[in-house]
Amino acid sequence: MKVGFLQFNPEFGRKEKNLDTIANILHNKEADLMVLPELCTTGFNFIDKEEARSFAEPFENGPTRVFLKDLARELNMALVAGFLEKEGSKVFNSLMFLPPDGEDILYRKLHLFDRGKLTFDPGDIPFRVHAYRGIKLGFAICFDWIYPEAFRTLALQGAQIICHCTNLVLPFYPMAALVRAVENGVFIVYSNRTGSENRGGIELGYIGTSRIVSPRGEILAEADKIQEITCIVEIDPTKASDKNITGLNHLFDDRRPEFYKL
């Protein structure tokens, strides 16, 4: 399976321009699965919830979903993209999984970072694994990574690839992603954005460094801090089904949950 990430610098609030940028970058690319950044069409650094609401859209028949679903069909490529979702009075930091054919999937960020707690409503959709072309996928958004239970839940459900849309500002995750991949025996494809946003006197600088990581902690592809780039590699997702660490150690069978307090 060919998997990849798209790293770029979305322009704040310019949804149509960002969608055109995504389409232009992905034109003529060949992959089965492509992961895009968190909130890749709107930017992240909203002044308040009301401003965020003005850019949000419904998942059902929203313009971002319609545009990216058409693109997925055109490219015969599944897309995982972060977007700003509204449902009733609530505003969610969400992602959509859009296969070229088959069911579209929605996930809402469960763990909100810093001022995101003032801007977004916390997600209400449990971590679930979904099948695509015979492979089991899990989904996460940015700060979900800091809670080991998040990726472990997906791995215990059988996820072989975790697709992770990010707007990373903390420097820790490029290292932590290697740990999350090894401790769960999964591939991780994470797409971060670049650039910075200074709004309302608050500046956020995004660290780029998107990566594809193997279940053994190998970096299969990576970007630097500023590149606008698409990286695609071919992987064998079935390697994530082998949870043997040694001939006598199994990653999950050797767990002692009766002694853990979570």
User: Which domains are present in the chain?
Assistant: 2-259 (3.60.110.10)
pLDDT band at 211 (very low <50, low <70, confident <90, very high): very high
225 is catalytic: no
Among the options 15, 136, 142, 165, which is catalytic? 142
pLDDT digits (tens, 9 = 90+) for 8-43: 999 999 999 999 999 999 999 999 999 999 999 999
Respond yes or no: is residue 165 known to be catalytic: no
pLDDT in tens, 33-85: 999 999 999 999 999 999 999 999 999 999 999 999 999 999 999 999 999 99
Per-residue pLDDT, 123: 98
Task: State phi, psi for 157 to the nearest 5 degrees.
Answer: -85, -5
Which segments of the chain are extended strands (E)?
2-7, 33-35, 78-87, 90-98, 105-108, 130-132, 135-141, 161-165, 187-191, 196-199, 202-205, 211-213, 219-222, 229-234
Residue 262, pLDDT > 90, answer no
| Residue 38 annotated among the catalytic residues of the structure | yes
User: Which of 109, 136, 163, 197 does the annotation list as catalytic?
Assistant: 109
**pLDDT band at residue 261 under the 50/70/90 scheme:** confident
Predicted model pTM: 0.97
